[in-house]
A = this chain, B = another copy of it.
Amino acid sequence: VHQPPTPGHRSTIEDVAAAAGVSVATVSRALRGLPNVAASTRERIHEVATTLSYRADPAASRLAAGRSRSIAVAVPMLNTWYFSQVVAGAEAVCAEAGYDTIVAGVGHDRAERSILDGSSALHRRVDGLILVDVSLFDTELEFHRSTGLALVSVGARQIGFPSIGIDDVEVGRLAAQHLIDLGHRRIGLIHGATEDPFDFEVPLLRQQGFESAMRAAGIELDPALYAPGDFTVDGGARAAAQLLDSADPPTAIFAMADEMAFGVARYARERGLRIPEDVSLVGVDDHDFAPVIGLTTIRQHVEEHGTTAARLLLNDLEGDGAPIERVNAPIELIVRSSTSTR
């Protein structure tokens, strides 16, 4: 078993106070930049603190002050491009502001949501929470509201809390319209979860946009052209198999995320199908890897979503608090070589 940190030779606020010949209260004030400390005193205290390499114990100050200077980022999965971008963006901003960033994976079922439903005292461990593409149950929302935890959402809107995201309806519309303009009429749609009763907002909105463009073009919607891709590469490949091996396959596919589009590309490759000759393909994200296969996609700046979310949160936590409701981030159709005329 590991030896716990050697106690004793770490300096406390009392050591600093003693060495500087002042009281602990003054040390506390001085070090935190609070007013009512003589400049000379403050300077002396800083020097002493440096010499003793003193650092306030976070747990102690948390307990006394009621703030932890740390935030949590809750994501469905940590190991996908999209979520790591967001986390990276958020972490950078938080680190800059002196906040610790705790990551937490959350699932859809109750058991994996302890961070969200209050059963883990999250509100006493962190000052704020960033939700990435996770929708809260009403009870959870209510809980956080009552608990007073600062909260911002990226992706889905969370009523009563700030959120940042893109116009997902427009995403679906843009993608569909691009394909329609190229002459496609049988367009496959790879969406999110198979049967998730609690499917979140984003895929629904994208689908809505997709369908509105289709309808506007007078194209009939065909249920056989929808397949779940799980937002993963493998899922995208499975969906591609389902779509492409059907009796009347689509001539184009819109995958709601680049990762799923990569799965389509992989499957096409295995099957010997060419993109875009045999099937056009468009994704969403503009993943780093998109240019590698020339994927046409709807670009969004994911890392920025993370930084913005963190800034919104910090603003809420300690800013002058102009309460922001929704930040809409830009999107852009990037045409590469994975789409062509029918």
Give the B-binding residues of A (Cβ under 8 A): 1-7, 10, 53, 55-60, 62-63, 66-68, 70, 77-81, 83-85, 87-89, 91-92, 95, 100-105, 118-121, 123-125, 128, 146-150, 232-234, 259, 262-263, 265-266, 269, 288-289, 291-294, 303, 316-321
14 contacts between A and B (CB under 8 A): A2-B128, A2-B321, A3-B148, A4-B67, A5-B66, A6-B147, A57-B124, A59-B125, A62-B62, A79-B84, A79-B85, A100-B104, A262-B292, A289-B292
Closest to A72 in B: B100
Give me the 4 closest cross-chain CB pairs, A-B, nearest first: A55-B121, A78-B88, A79-B88, A84-B84
For the complex, give the distance between the alpha carbons of A263 and B289 in Å.
8
Given the known interface contacts A55-B124, A67-B4, the answer about A103 and B103 at a Cβ–Cβ threshold of 8 Å is yes
CB distance B5 to A148 under 8 Å? yes
| Chain B: minimal CB distance from A289 (Å) | 5
CB distance B105 to A88 under 8 Å? yes
Closest to A291 in B: B266
For the complex, give the distance between the alpha carbons of A294 and B292 in Å.
12
CB distance B6 to A146 under 8 Å? yes
A291 to chain B: which residues have CB within 8 Å? 266
| Chain B: minimal CB distance from A12 (Å) | 11
A319 to chain B: which residues have CB within 8 Å? 1
For the complex, give the distance between the alpha carbons of A146 and B53 in Å.
14
CB distance B102 to A57 under 8 Å? no
User: How many copies are assembled?
Assistant: 2
CB distance A292 to B269 under 8 Å? yes
A321 to chain B: which residues have CB within 8 Å? 1-2
14 new A-B contacts, CB < 8 A, other than A78-B91, A79-B89, are A1-B316, A2-B128, A4-B148, A56-B121, A59-B68, A78-B84, A78-B87, A87-B103, A100-B102, A262-B288, A266-B292, A269-B293, A289-B292, A292-B293
| Chain B: minimal CB distance from A335 (Å) | 15
Closest to A118 in B: B53
| Chain B: minimal CB distance from A67 (Å) | 7
Closest to A66 in B: B4
A269 to chain B: which residues have CB within 8 Å? 292-294
For the complex, give the distance between the alpha carbons of A320 and B1 in Å.
6
For the complex, give the distance between the alpha carbons of A81 and B233 in Å.
13
| Chain B: minimal CB distance from A190 (Å) | 15
| Chain B: minimal CB distance from A65 (Å) | 9
CB distance A102 to B58 under 8 Å? no
Given the known interface contacts A262-B289, A294-B269, the answer about A77 and B66 at a Cβ–Cβ threshold of 8 Å is no
CB distance B55 to A63 under 8 Å? no
| Chain B: minimal CB distance from A225 (Å) | 23
| Chain B: minimal CB distance from A294 (Å) | 7
CB distance A80 to B84 under 8 Å? yes
Given the known interface contacts A88-B105, A265-B292, the answer about A58 and B121 at a Cβ–Cβ threshold of 8 Å is yes
